Structure 1
Amino acid sequence: MEKRKFGYARVSSTSQNLDRQIMVLKKYVAEENIVVDKKSGKDLEREGYLALKGPMGLRKGDTLYVVSLDRLSRNKKNITSEIKWFQEKGIDLRILDLPTTMADFPEEQKWIKEMINNILIEVLGSFAEQERITIRKRQQAGIEAAKKKGKYLGRPVIAKPDNYDEVMVRWKAKEISSVEARKLLGGVKKNTFYRWVKEEK
Structure 2
Amino acid sequence: MAIVGYARVSSVDQDHTTQVERLQAAGCKRVFSEKKSGTSKQGRDALDECLQWMREGDTLAVTKIDRLARSARDLHNMVHELEEREISLMVLDQAIDTRTPTGKAFLGMLAIFAEFETNIRKERQSEGIAKAKAEGVYTGRKPTAKAKKAQIEALLAQGMSKPKVAKELGICVASVYNALKEA
Instruction: Give secondary structure in 2 for the equivalent of 1:14.
Output: coil
| Residue of structure 2 in register with 1:148 after alignment | 134
For 2:88 and 2:33, the matched residues in 1 are separated by 19
Aligned length: 175
- The offset of 1:20, in angstroms, is 2.0
| Residue of structure 1 in register with 2:39 after alignment | 42
- The offset of 1:153, in angstroms, is 6.6
For 2:130 and 2:179, the matched residues in 1 are separated by 24
Q: Relative to 1, partners in 2 of residues 1:153 and 1:114: Cα closer, same or farther, differing over 3 Å?
A: farther
| TM-score under structure 1 length normalisation | 0.67
TM-align CA RMSD: 3.4
- Structure 2 gap ranges (5+): 143-154, 159-167
Instruction: Give secondary structure in 1 for the equivalent of 2:90.
Output: strand
1:90-134 C-alpha deviation (Å, 9 max, x unpaired): 212110012242xxxxxxxxx9x5210111011101100000100
| Residue of structure 2 in register with 1:29 after alignment | 28
The question of whether the paired residues in 1 share the 8 Å contact of 2:70 and 2:111 is answered with yes
- Structure 1 gap ranges (5+): 102-110, 158-170, 175-180, 183-188
The question of whether the paired residues in 2 share the 8 Å contact of 1:143 and 1:153 is answered with no
* Stretches of 4+ aligned residues off by more than 3 angstroms: 198-201
Instruction: Give secondary structure in 1 for the equivalent of 2:100.
Output: helix
For 1:11 and 1:100, the matched residues in 2 are separated by 20
| Residue of structure 1 in register with 2:7 after alignment | 9
2:28 is matched by which residue type in structure 1? V
1:24-59 C-alpha deviation (Å, 9 max, x unpaired): 2121224xx2111211111112100011122xx000
The question of whether the paired residues in 2 share the 8 Å contact of 1:5 and 1:29 is answered with yes
- The offset of 1:200, in angstroms, is 10
For 2:3 and 2:127, the matched residues in 1 are separated by 42
The structure with more radius of gyration: 1
Matched, 1:90 2:86: yes
The question of whether the paired residues in 1 share the 8 Å contact of 2:2 and 2:28 is answered with no
